[in-house]
Structure 1
């Protein structure tokens, strides 16, 4: 996120809490979103992650520090739609394959895309192809810029969320996204874009072979 922000790309304001000594009123606007800095698959994200008050802030920070033994990432909460973008290629050849919107249903056990919600995604999440248009172009352009800036190779999956002004913001990037044919986001995006699973794998291998001069 430091690299993303220094390059002038939009990402929500954030701080890191490294120990209980760092727990004090943040120079961020509430609500904020809190999670362990080095986990994946929604680990550490639950119904307490979206924080509205300082009492909640203190309790959530202490809980995460104790349980996960790593810094806590605190970001200003973005109220808009959430997307994940599949990016293929390396450097100048990087292109967005497609974008999928993630919509957590109202009856889900958490308001946000938490670990529990992900585990029960068939019941609590709608995965929808993003409509084409200017907004999608902005979302995918941000994702590709992040992929290239962070020197990802062959493939990545970039999480984007809209702020209160409907502007795309970078949340995080997965440089080694899951490849389960029906459960992982990357193959799901490929399917939505009409690309068969075997063709997706072929594209990844072709990109890697090109980097090593094996084509």
Structure 2
């Protein structure tokens, strides 16, 4: 039986170390780890649970290896934190699931990702990167603008204050972001339109969209943003629906072009928002999308079109095994096809 290593950051471990709930927001729950492990076993793997990057490093030094690694480690520090496990596995020549280390750095740095897609003719809001408060004086984007950390996920650093209407307020929020997250601020022209996310599985010309999901803001939601508050309290303040109109079709096309332009692999999510003309604009790509079965966007949109959590994991594994030319003889369940 083929052995698969499983690397992850368990949220409870970090909370026990004194991390705040916000600091640990991107890490995975035991529910997620158990669900992924079940799906991988169902696929036919002997699953070896490794844990975080330190546990991985210890295992590698001890001489352990695996046929392939399913990696969902978010990492703790630095813009390259999602690239740390992939880089380590690359150094040891061990195949792994999801994007390469260089792509992980590129997609974590939202400004660099926007430059790439912009150069491919893909619509994305005009932007600047603010390193220091003094840089605010040079901003010539029309207000309102949207300000968020350059390299965070799960809505961290985003709140109702992120929609900014003047330079005084912009300087204040940029200073707050720098102090709290120790990184620059990405400032973009505010996009007032529909909020869309596109699920994708596969790599390069084999990549395919699963569905387009729209977010609707209910009473009590922080307006106009996928903030940490909104995400953590989505059952109370958000609702979701799969959409298939012309705007959704345009969003799917833009998302797939962005995914391929950035070199993303196996599975993930692309977030978009429409401008004043109703045109979907690229916001960011989630190269390690959340996989919490009943909470994360990708599994939720999959379920809306009849793809259960285990089937999503199987589709991701199909892509990874194909890339490496690997086959699993005792595969138990055939993954559901996608559009």
User: Per the shorter chain, which TM-score range?
Assistant: over 0.9
Does 1:149 find its partner at 2:239? no
Q: Is the 8 A contact 2:192 2:224 kept in 1?
A: no
> What's the CA shift for 1:68?
1.2
**Cα separation, 2, equivalents of 1:128 and 1:185:** 11
Task: Please point out which of 224, 228, 239 is paired with 1:126.
Answer: 239
Structure 1 moving runs of 4+ over 4 Å: none
Segments of 5+ residues of structure 1 without an aligned counterpart are none
Find the counterpart in structure 2 of residue 205 from structure 1: 317
As a proportion of its length, which structure holds more helix?
Answer: 2
Alignment of 1:56-205 (within 5 A): 56-130=169-243, 132-205=244-317
Give the total of aligned pairs. Answer: 214
Task: Please point out which of 13, 27, 31 is paired with 2:140.
Answer: 27
> What's the CA shift for 1:19?
1.6
> What's the CA shift for 1:20?
2.4
**After superposition, what is the alpha-carbon deviation per residue over 1:119-163, rounded to whole angstroms, capped at 9, x for unaligned?**
111101111111x23222110000000000100001120001110
Q: TM-score, normalised by structure 2?
A: 0.61
Segments of 5+ residues of structure 2 without an aligned counterpart are 1-113, 328-339
The 10-residue stretch of structure 1 (103-112 or 180-189) with the greater mean CA deviation from structure 2: 103-112
**Cα separation, 2, equivalents of 1:109 and 1:176:** 25
**Cα separation, 1, equivalents of 2:138 and 2:234:** 34
Does 1:17 find its partner at 2:126? no
C-alpha RMSD of the superposition:
1.2
**Cα separation, 2, equivalents of 1:171 and 1:109:** 18
**Cα separation, 1, equivalents of 2:228 and 2:270:** 18
Find the counterpart in structure 1 of residue 117 from structure 2: 4
As a proportion of its length, which structure holds more strand?
Answer: 1
The 10-residue stretch of structure 1 (38-47 or 132-141) with the greater mean CA deviation from structure 2: 132-141
Does 1:38 find its partner at 2:159? no
Task: Please point out which of 144, 165, 176 is paired with 1:52.
Answer: 165
**Cα separation, 2, equivalents of 1:195 and 1:98:** 11
Greater gyration radius: 2
Going from structure 1 to structure 2, the CA distance change for 1:156 and 1:138 (only over 3 Å counts) comes to: same
